[in-house]
Amino acid sequence: DGGITQSPKYLFRKEGQNVTLSCEQNLNHDAMYWYRQDPGQGLRLIYYSQIVNDFQKGDIAEGYSVSREKKESFPLTVTSAQKNPTAFYLCASSIQGQNYEQYFGPGTRLTVT
Amino acid sequence: RKEVEQDPGPFNVPEGATVAFNCTYSNSASQSFFWYRQDCRKEPKLLMSVYSSGNEDGRFTAQLNRASQYISLLIRDSKLSDSATYLCVVISGSARQLTFGSGTQLTVLP
């Protein structure tokens, strides 16, 4: 089945540690995105990539880093510089120029204590 | 003013009721509009696009009012399975950036 996978579903880390969240898609989509969702709030864009080896900061990129070495993969690293990392992280992808419908992965719930 | 605003609800309605949500946006040059549905602790999924002329998909009707800068979602004959959070999405700007509303929570009661 085609789709987007994120792993793990739940992740627990100690404060001060970097952690990398995985996102893989086999939809052959060019564009990929990372969002963060906090309770009772909408999605906020962290980073996005429209093509391999290129990515752009979103609205809340501070404390995060990404890479896009392969079309299928867009991992997100939450660094120790991110002040409030506990959140629900969603990865999405879309076809460029196709009404921008975004397909989401199941998400990773990160808890940092 | 937020770029995209929604009434957070919650809306609690009985089965069979008709319910409507609005979503206002601040950028008059916004180009595209969508409604997504998000179940509790799950990822959002596209419910429907919103076209200028309005569009209908079964029990769901979406409308766009550019003059007043809002989109709406009407759900007729509500089912228990319609219980979810409904997110509006607006695409704006030369970079065609997506902006999500914070969502409206709907609970359909038996």
Q: pLDDT tens digit string along A5-25? A: 999 999 999 998 999 999 999
Which residues of A make CB contacts under 8 Å with B?
Answer: 35, 40-45, 88, 90, 99-107, 109
Higher pLDDT, B1 or A73: A73
Q: Given this model, what pLDDT does residue A100 score?
A: 67
- As a whole-number percent, the residues of chain B with pLDDT over 70 amount to 96
pLDDT of residue B12: 96
The whole-angstrom separation of Cα A45 and Cα B96 is 13
Bond from prior residue into B10 cis (ω within 30 degrees of 0): yes
Query: Taking CB atoms and an 8 Å limit, are A101 and B4 in contact across chains?
Result: no
Measure Cα distances from A45 to A62, A86, A102, B91, B99 in Å: 11, 15, 13, 13, 8
CA–CA distance, A99 with B19 (Å, rounded to integer) = 27
Q: What's the rounded mean pLDDT across residues B21-46? A: 92
Q: Which residue has the tokens 């992965």?
A: A105
Q: Which helix (H) or strand (E) holds A11?
A: strand A10-13
- Contact partners, residue A31, CB within 8 Å, separation at least 6: A48, A49, A50, A51, A93, A94, A95, A96
Distances (CA, A) of B108 to B11, B42, B56: 8, 18, 21
* Nearest residue, CB atoms, A100 vs list B8, B87, B98: B98
Confidence (pLDDT) at A40: 78
pLDDT given for residue A87 in this prediction: 96
Q: What is the pLDDT of residues B58-104, one digit of tens each?
A: 999 999 999 999 999 999 999 999 999 999 999 887 666 788 999 99
Find where tokens 């607006």 sit: B90
CB contact under 8 A, B4 and A102: no
CA distance A70 to chain B (A): 23
